[in-house]
Structure 1
Amino acid sequence: MPDEVLREDHDGWVQLTLNRPDKLNALTVAIFGELRAHIADLATAEGIGCIVLRGAGKCFSAGHDLADIAAGERPPSRGWHSETLRMLEKLPIPVIAAVHGHCYTGALEVALAADFIVAAEGARFGDTHAKFALTPVWGMSVRLPRRVGIATAKRLMFTAQMIDAAEAVRIGLAEYAIPDDGFATEIERLAAQVAAQSHFSHAANKRLLERADGVPADAALIAEWMDGEGRGPDMEKRIAGFTKR
């Protein structure tokens, strides 16, 4: 049986690919288990400055596998899926969700756990929990309003409306849209650009941003200069390389 999450190592960055293309990468306990194992490995990895999360075949993912739900899927523990996405979110490495095709409901919850989303022009997003008399348990009610604002999150959740990449960019769900035929090339360029920056700064900046989220500005500003991690071990080398150009 082929791996349901593939890892490809590039120069300074890693691509993780959801790999159930015959099922539109529908999300099961098994696929989450493999994703979780990769996340755990990457949490202590060295020399990696960016992670790209993609889907194989026609789309990123059509969402939670409804057949698994109907069959009474059994995750290892209550909250296990949500915990896995929190592990992804807290990685000390920038994570980019590269979305093409479908990105619905559970798949959108996965993408929202990345640091940001970039979309192919043909991508479509939506939250269909209400269509099936379900409520989110993987993070939608927390991450979606933080990304797009509470009123827009309510509109998307209450209507189960599908939106295209242009609308996703307009509301702040995705950072920018990329022509479908140049999607892979742009993702590789973006990942390489992120990976070329200081990995120390990436990890420290993610911690700063996490700490400041939702905190009053004065407290966050004090924490930044009191608890900031300062200069990284590669600072002198990077400055020297810049001044010698």
Structure 2
Amino acid sequence: MIEVENLVKRFGSTVAVNGITFTVNDGEIYGLLGPNGSGKSTTMKILAGILAPTSGKVLVDGVDVSQDPLRVKEMTGYVPETPVLYESLTPIEFFNFVGSVRRIPEEKLQERVDALVKAFGIEEYLGEMIGSLSFGTRQKVSLISAMLHDPAVLILDEAMNGLDPKSARILRELLMDFREDGKSVVFSTHVLALAEMICDRIGVIYNGRLIAEGTVEQLKEFAHEESLEDVFLKLTESRDEVLGIVQALRETL
């Protein structure tokens, strides 16, 4: 379970996250949606213990992120929006490094590496330098490394970026398996159809504030809209702007 209470994060005079409160239950996939620059990635980094909050409280399975970020990192698997990897290592060297840091028994590590590498189809790249790999393959390496220790909480920031349709489907199925195992998943994406498909609840963040929260049906009812896309555009004050841009293009082209 993740409990976020009145979370605030400032960078100098800029308030990136402004008083956010939400809970992610065990056995739940929680979607965090918002435009670029809305505070999603900052929030995810705080949940993962990467950034310290300015104020407010975040508990991950009862552990306060501010007081014990190392313990939080031990319990979570985190995939950032852009893969952050040791590019001078090969994927197999990186997985072994992650296994040693996570103190995963060697036999268990090999078992999980074999299964995840096969699932995401990167066997042929295990001996290549990570820095030479495509963005999509590096994203798969990042995902595998986040899941090696079988975390209680997964925090995925735009984790579908760069994945081919097969790998995206496999990740989707894995996330639903995580949910069935009673684990918590926080998932951000710009693919609203995907959010509608897999998220139990969704929080919409805009200008650093959580402006709406609920199931897809609850959000549609709240915004009086028929699709999650229209809900999102309406709540983030983007719909009129989109229609204006499209109309201008039609008149010009």
TM superposition score normalised by structure 2: 0.29
Q: Comparing both structures, which one devotes a greater share of its residues to helix?
A: 1
The answer to which structure, 1 or 2, has the higher relative contact order (CA under 8 A, 6+ apart) is: 2
Q: Comparing both structures, which one devotes a greater share of its residues to strand?
A: 2
